[in-house]
């Protein structure tokens, strides 16, 4: 019951509807049990109490919306992965799925790029002279956070790139792309939102 109530409060519109329902119920009870003429709504003692109660209920709306935002913040922090390494000098790139299970451990120079695939991430890496890929259930956002302050950076909503493997950065038809300088390897687009950050890291 408690979890269901908390889940309900996570939507601010549910809070608004709940409090508006309370206001409507209060007005109905006030008018039904203590009828007040419209002309008396600004002069009677009961009316002032009614307006004060409505003000209190509006204050409750604001408080509950604030509680809602705090709950969402706590849930986001709870869903963040465990403490990530922040050093640029990693000897291995360890990739975990969303449950925290280790799925791939590779030397930094073997990892080329990561690509979003719905609720999965596809890791493209070199093994025994051949490009291989591994699909793990996770999000680019989590992986981006885990490898913050390393050469593995976000360059697009769908891509994370290993700058150690990039050989060229060039502009094609008004779009910045990153090139590995190897045959049969795709060029990776850089979106405008990440352009400044990528150029800063690349230079």
Is residue 17 very low, low, confident or very high in pLDDT (cuts 50, 70, 90)? low
Strands 102-106 and 111-117, by their bridges, are unpaired
In a domain, 35, yes or no: yes
In a domain, 68, yes or no: yes
In a domain, 32, yes or no: yes
Evaluate whether 202 touches 190 at the Cβ level (below 8 Å): no
Boundary-marking domain end, from 79, 112, 146:
79
Domain span holding position 173: 93-202
How big is the CA angle at 176 (ends 108 and 132), to the nearest 5 degrees? 35
pLDDT in tens, 133-186: 999 999 999 999 999 889 999 999 999 999 999 999 988 888 899 999 988 899
Query: Across residues 98-105, what is the average pLDDT?
Result: 94
DSSP character at residue 139: -
In a domain, 192, yes or no: yes
202 or 112, which is more confident?
Answer: 112
Question: Do residue 111 and residue 172 come from a single domain?
Answer: yes
Expressed in angstroms, the distance from the first to the final Cα of the chain is: 55
Phi, psi values for residue 100, rounded to 5°: 90, 10
In a domain, 84, yes or no: no
Question: Do residue 100 and residue 187 come from a single domain?
Answer: yes
In a domain, 31, yes or no: yes
In a domain, 86, yes or no: no
Evaluate whether 164 touches 150 at the Cβ level (below 8 Å): no
Boundary-marking domain end, from 79, 105, 120:
79
Total of domains in the chain: 2
Question: Do residue 154 and residue 122 come from a single domain?
Answer: yes
Question: Do residue 40 and residue 133 come from a single domain?
Answer: no
Number of H helices and E strands in the chain, helices first, is: 5, 10
CATH number for the domain spanning 113: value is 2.40.50.1020
Question: Do residue 162 and residue 195 come from a single domain?
Answer: yes
Phi, psi values for residue 15, rounded to 5°: -65, -45
pLDDT of residue 48: 62
Spatial CB neighbours of 177, under 8 Å, sequence gap ≥ 6: 169, 170, 171, 187, 188, 189, 190
Question: Do residue 99 and residue 196 come from a single domain?
Answer: yes
pLDDT of residue 132 exceeding 80, the answer is yes
pLDDT in tens, 20-49: 666 766 666 665 555 555 555 555 556 666
Question: Do residue 192 and residue 129 come from a single domain?
Answer: yes
pLDDT of residue 183: 84
pLDDT of residue 88: 47
How big is the CA angle at 95 (ends 94 and 98), to the nearest 5 degrees? 140
> Residue 145 half-sphere exposure, CB side, CA atoms within 13 Å?
12
C-beta pairs of 172-180 under 8 Å, 24+ apart in sequence: 178/202, 180/112
In a domain, 175, yes or no: yes
Average pLDDT, the chain: 78
Question: Do residue 101 and residue 166 come from a single domain?
Answer: yes
């Amino acid at each position: 019951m408690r979890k269901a109530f908390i889940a309900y409060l996570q939507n601010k519109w549910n809070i608004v509807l709940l409090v508006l329902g309370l206001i409507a119920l209060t007005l109905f009870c006030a008018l039904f049990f203590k009828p007040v003429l419209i002309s008396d709504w600004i002069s009677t003692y009961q009316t002032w109490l009614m307006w004060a109660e409505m003000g209190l209920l509006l204050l409750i709306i604001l408080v509950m919306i604030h509680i809602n935002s705090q709950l969402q913040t706590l849930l986001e922090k709870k869903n963040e992965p465990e403490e990530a390494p922040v050093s640029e000098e990693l000897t291995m790139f360890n990739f975990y799925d969303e449950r925290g299970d280790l799925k791939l451990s590779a030397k930094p120079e073997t990892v080329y790029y990561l690509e979003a695939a719905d609720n999965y991430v596809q890791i493209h890496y070199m093994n025994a002279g051949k490009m291989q890929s591994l699909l793990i259930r996770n999000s680019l956002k989590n992986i981006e956070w885990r490898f913050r302050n390393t050469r593995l950076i976000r360059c697009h909503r769908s891509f994370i790139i290993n700058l150690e493997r990039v050989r060229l950065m060039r502009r094609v038809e008004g779009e910045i792309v990153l090139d590995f300088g190897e045959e049969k390897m795709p060029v990776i687009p850089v979106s405008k939102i990440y352009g400044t950050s990528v150029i800063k890291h690349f230079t």
